[in-house]
Structure 1
Amino acid sequence: MRSKKAGKKFWITIGSFDGIHLGHQRIISNLVENAHADGSHTVLITFFPNPAVFLKKIQEAYYLTTPEEKEQLIYNLGIDLLRTLPFDQELAKTRAREFIHQLHTNLQFTNILVGSDFHFGVNREGDIHTLESLGKDLDFNVVKQVPIFESKKRVSSSQIRNLLKRGDVKRAALILGRHYSILGKVMHGDGRGKKLGIPTANISTWQRKLLPAQGVYVAIAHIGKNQRGAIVNIGTRPTFYQKTSIRTTEAYLLDWKEDFYGKQLNLEFICRLRPENKFDSANALMNQIHQDIQRSREILTHVIKEKHLSA
């Protein structure tokens, strides 16, 4: 990573920043505010894959943001330069002091802002005290960011993952500072929804991004420049399939008449209506779906007014 430029001063922060939740946002906004007041540029250093995914050999969906989503969110917060380091075996074995020495050689940063629980280096051997010691040696300042709490719990990416695994997208939104969302391409499914008079968009998403728990959700759908209220089913469609099938994500867009196949669809999750259930018949399922549509319209009324959506 070569970013050293003559005459430029840098403030940096380092971390995984998965999800860009309220805690991350506080760190980034404070970094930008202080650096720009000092006439310095800001650099955010992150990693891919996530160190936890690499070190723990995590195979299931884990990420709260795709690399592209994360980049956009970070730049939207005012960061001047984003550097994503490949987290591999070489980096995993790098000692804490060596890692900071390499960064400082390349950037000559004057300040580093991190959370008070920041750890780095092989086996997480480095902490805030290590940084402060290195700061004295290399002549940079260490700024500690106090954590943010929600319902007496420290805001963290792990907390959000746990909430999503329970389907609690509403509380996850409070910690993220925005609705949790997924982006995917609309693919052809089995056409069952269309035959029942409720055509659904079968969405193919990045397999490494975490989906909320199986169930039925109220959402806001973004397709091109259009926005609509939506009902989203995440699950295995047990009413039609006796054996456990592959989990799918299907969205019914309220008052949408146009073709959506092959298009990119972004879904913002508002709340969970109910778990995914197995019904005795297709008619029983349809009756429930119509109830879901009515409830969704009622819930979305307030959101639509705020976001000026049509539904």
Structure 2
Amino acid sequence: MRHFHQLQEVELSESLVAVGTFDGVHIGHRVMLEQMSREAHARGLLAVVVTFFPHPVVVLRGLEGPHYLTLPDERARYLGEAGIDVVVTLKFTREMAAWSARHFVQLLRAHLGMSELWAGPDFALGHNREGDLPTLTSLGEELGYRVRVVSPFHHRGVVVSSSRVRALLAEGEVTEAAAMLGRPYSVSGPVVHGDSRGHTLGFPTANIDFWPQKIVPANGVYACRVWLQGQRYDAVTNLGVRPTFGTLPPLPRMEAYLLDFQQEIYGQTLEVAFIRRLRGEQRFESVEALTAQIQRDIQATREVLQYEP
């Protein structure tokens, strides 16, 4: 997979193209993209995704706070795993939002050789979403491309969407979110120094400095799989403000206790994959009560993860 950041960097003779934010690259996205990829490759063509960063709603609505399920490079990696050959991540601006649908598809034709535009039934592009499917189909007849519409994908009777995944994570429903993503939801970041509270308790944790605009699950304690330098470890991860210790941090902290692990890993990047929520965050009356609960969380994590692949 090749990843570009401007259409002007790409010159293709012919390709099949999908356009969208594709945040999270969930199973609904993958069904369409894998189908597009198979068809492109069967015809000796490339499968291309054009996507955006920042997310359009962040720019147009001034949305603040965590919103993203995937960072741009992370999203591109998942798109590549879905069979996409070329990803173009465009910087979304208010100027781009003013582009007409005609201008947009002309760029796709000129730089990507787009012969087919693949989309869902509610897809639109261009200023004020003027480029709905009938408009794009009409433009295609003029400019020389076809529009292929793919039905939305359902999971347990619910349409799979990035918005639904965000809502599940906000409720701590990481198992159901994983079912919609097709993989456990994960958050990455470097290990930084904390206040050594876990070490004092006998459970040294890795404090992870995650990107503040990336969504994290609801505060609580989770059974997790952690990846470090290509190796997988089991972990108990706490997300929250640690109410037992009084002074609350301004943002939730992510602290992972890697089971059966003794190495110093400051500065290294951990990827934490959330498998199951064990409990909500709670305040304990004593350090002894907290320590006893941590022991129970460790045992619960071992029991949960022994059945996970």
TM over 0.5: yes
Per the alignment, in what secondary structure is the counterpart of residue 41 of structure 2?
helix
Instruction: Indicate yes or no: 2:243 matched with 1:238.
Output: yes
Structure 1 residue 259, shift from structure 2 partner: 1.1
Instruction: Indicate yes or no: 2:172 matched with 1:167.
Output: yes
Q: Which amino acid aligns with 1:182?
A: V
Separation (CA, whole Å) in 1 of partners of 2:192 and 2:225: 19
Per the alignment, in what secondary structure is the counterpart of residue 302 of structure 1?
coil
Separation (CA, whole Å) in 2 of partners of 1:180 and 1:72: 14
Q: TM-score, normalised by structure 2?
A: 0.95
Match for residue 186 of structure 2 among 181, 184, 203: 181
Match for residue 96 of structure 1 among 95, 101, 108: 101
Separation (CA, whole Å) in 2 of partners of 1:102 and 1:221: 42
Tell which deviates more after alignment, 100-109 or 73-82: 100-109
Instruction: Indicate yes or no: 2:301 matched with 1:296.
Output: yes
Q: CA deviation digits over 1:111-145, x for unaligned, max 9?
A: 11111111211122221111111111112111111
Q: TM-score, normalised by structure 1?
A: 0.94
Return 5+ residue gaps in structure 2 as ranges: 1-6
Separation (CA, whole Å) in 1 of partners of 2:47 and 2:251: 44
Separation (CA, whole Å) in 1 of partners of 2:138 and 2:257: 56
Separation (CA, whole Å) in 2 of partners of 1:105 and 1:243: 54
Instruction: Indicate yes or no: 2:252 matched with 1:247.
Output: yes
Match for residue 62 of structure 1 among 62, 67, 91: 67
Match for residue 273 of structure 1 among 254, 272, 278: 278
Separation (CA, whole Å) in 1 of partners of 2:19 and 2:212: 26
Q: CA deviation digits over 1:1-52, x for unaligned, max 9?
A: 23334xx321111010100000111121011111111221121100111111
Corresponding residue of 1:85: 90
Note the 1:101-120 alignment, pairs <5 A: 101-120=106-125
Q: CA deviation digits over 1:273-303, x for unaligned, max 9?
A: 0000011111111111111111111111111
Return 5+ residue gaps in structure 1 as ranges: 307-311
Structure 1 residue 246, shift from structure 2 partner: 3.2
- On the 8 A contact 2:242/2:248 being kept in 1, the answer is no
Corresponding residue of 2:219: 214
- On the 8 A contact 1:238/1:244 being kept in 2, the answer is no
Match for residue 129 of structure 2 among 124, 129, 148: 124
Structure 1 residue 190, shift from structure 2 partner: 0.3
- On the 8 A contact 1:203/1:248 being kept in 2, the answer is yes
Provide closer, same or farther for how the CA distance between residues 4 and 261 of structure 1 changes in structure 2, counting only shifts above 3 A: closer
What's the C-alpha RMSD, in Å, of the aligned pairs? Answer: 1.3
Q: Which amino acid aligns with 1:17?
A: F
Count, aligned residues: 302
Instruction: Indicate yes or no: 2:6 matched with 1:9.
Output: no
Separation (CA, whole Å) in 2 of partners of 1:284 and 1:212: 25
Structure 1 residue 242, shift from structure 2 partner: 4.6
Q: Which amino acid aligns with 1:297?
A: R
Structure 1 residue 107, shift from structure 2 partner: 2.6
Corresponding residue of 1:259: 264
Tell which deviates more after alignment, 134-143 or 169-178: 134-143
Separation (CA, whole Å) in 2 of partners of 1:243 and 1:111: 53
Q: CA deviation digits over 1:83-136, x for unaligned, max 9?
A: 111110110111222221222233331111111111211122221111111111
- On the 8 A contact 2:241/2:248 being kept in 1, the answer is no
Q: Which amino acid aligns with 1:84?
A: T
Q: Which amino acid aligns with 2:235?
A: A
Structure 1 residue 269, shift from structure 2 partner: 0.4
Corresponding residue of 2:195: 190
Structure 1 residue 245, shift from structure 2 partner: 4.4
Separation (CA, whole Å) in 1 of partners of 2:248 and 2:147: 56
- On the 8 A contact 1:9/1:39 being kept in 2, the answer is no
Structure 1 residue 244, shift from structure 2 partner: 5.9
Per the alignment, in what secondary structure is the counterpart of residue 306 of structure 2?
helix
Separation (CA, whole Å) in 2 of partners of 1:179 and 1:149: 18
Separation (CA, whole Å) in 2 of partners of 1:71 and 1:109: 19
Match for residue 22 of structure 1 among 27, 34, 37: 27
